[in-house]
């Protein structure tokens, strides 16, 4: 049996990234932004994102045409841009018998893999990855760093519930347990972003730190040896609330 056959799916995906960087891993298939609109529970929300048909500026707060109604829990430098794999919609729709359309759950970016590489998802991207959206020699191309997974909240349930007359299950909880909510970027370099741009992986300082593994550790009811958790705590760019969760997973003597 080959070594690859003994690897987990995420390890096999990551092995495909053992190439010199920068590496063209995907193309940007859609850029979306939302406007704060009346929502459920007498609130406002911009969770429903619509495609943008022209280049848009990205600064440290995200897409300049994108809004967040609840600045306490959404947006800001450590949640500047959200990317979600299209496969998440396929999984939700298959699990719950729904027809949730892409863009419903608040993502700004969707991509499609190239060069026989894996799709960008929680098993193939890592905390600390820096992605460039645009030509590698274009100094106006946006650069984004993955700093945390997205934590699904009740607004996902409310948003999906608007498209059905009957009460739906707790989709947000299920997505969290599956660890398939996508991820947030901080902006490394301002620039312009537009549908159709190539996506380059330019830095991968923590190849062990897949989002899939982070979710598994965070959701586990088990405790772990310090040597398992400490490398995560040393990741400077990992958002602090996730480090707090991981610290609680260390075995105590």
SS (H, E, C) 29-98: EEEEECCCEECHHHCEECCCCEECCCCEEEECCEECCCCCCCCCCCCCHHHCEEECCHHHHHHHHHHHCC
* pLDDT score, position 98: 85
Domain positions in the chain? 4-206
- Tell me the residue length of the chain: 253
3-state helix, strand, coil in the chain (%, to 5): 25, 25, 50
Q: Which residues contact 66 (CB under 8 A, 6 or more apart)?
A: 33, 34, 46, 49, 108
- Name the token pair of 178: 């599956």
State whether residue 133 is helix, strand or coil. strand
Cα torsion 161, 102, 204, 8 to 10°: value is: 70
* pLDDT score, position 163: 55
With tokens 């772990």, the residue in question is: 224
Count the Cβ atoms, other than its own, within 10 Å of residue 67: 17
With tokens 């586990």, the residue in question is: 220
Q: Per residue of the chain (253 residues), what is the pLDDT tens digit?
A: 333 333 334 444 444 567 799 999 999 999 999 876 655 565 666 667 899 989 999 999 999 998 775 656 567 899 999 999 999 999 999 998 888 889 888 899 999 999 999 999 999 999 999 999 999 999 999 999 999 999 987 677 777 766 554 567 788 899 999 999 999 999 999 999 999 999 999 999 999 999 999 999 999 999 999 999 999 999 999 999 999 999 999 998 7
Q: What is the 3-state secondary structure (H, E, C) of 171-220?
A: HHHHHHHHCCCCEEEEEEECEEECCCCEEEEEECCCCCCEHHHHHHHHHC
For residue 22, say if its preceding peptide bond is cis, omega within 30 degrees of 0. Answer: yes
CATH C-level class of 4-206: mainly beta
Beta bridge mates, 33: 50
């Amino acid at each position: 049996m080959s070594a690859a056959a003994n690897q987990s799916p995420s390890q096999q995906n990551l092995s495909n990234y053992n190439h010199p960087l920068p590496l063209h891993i995907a193309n940007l298939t859609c850029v979306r932004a939302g406007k704060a609109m009346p929502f459920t529970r007498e609130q406002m929300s911009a969770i429903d994102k619509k495609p943008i048909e022209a280049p848009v500026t990205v600064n440290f707060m995200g897409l300049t045409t994108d809004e967040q109604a609840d600045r306490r829990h959404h947006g800001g430098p450590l949640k500047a841009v959200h990317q979600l794999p299209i496969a998440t919609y396929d999984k939700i729709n298959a699990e719950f018998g729904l027809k949730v359309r892409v863009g419903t759950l608040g993502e700004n970016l969707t991509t499609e893999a190239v060069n026989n590489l894996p799709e960008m998802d929680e098993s193939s991207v890592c905390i600390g990855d820096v992605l460039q959206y645009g030509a590698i020699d274009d100094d106006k191309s946006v650069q984004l760093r993955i700093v945390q997974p997205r934590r699904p909240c009740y607004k996902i349930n409310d948003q999906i519930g608007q498209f059905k007359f009957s009460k739906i299950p707790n989709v947000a909880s299920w997505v969290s347990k599956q660890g398939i909510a996508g991820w947030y970027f901080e902006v490394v370099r301002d620039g312009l972003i537009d549908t159709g741009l190539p996506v380059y992986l330019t830095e991968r300082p923590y190849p062990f730190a897949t989002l899939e593994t982070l979710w598994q550790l965070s959701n586990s009811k088990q405790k772990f040896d310090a040597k398992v958790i400490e490398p995560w705590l040393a990741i400077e760019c990992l958002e602090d609330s996730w480090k707090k969760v991981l610290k609680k997973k260390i075995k105590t003597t």
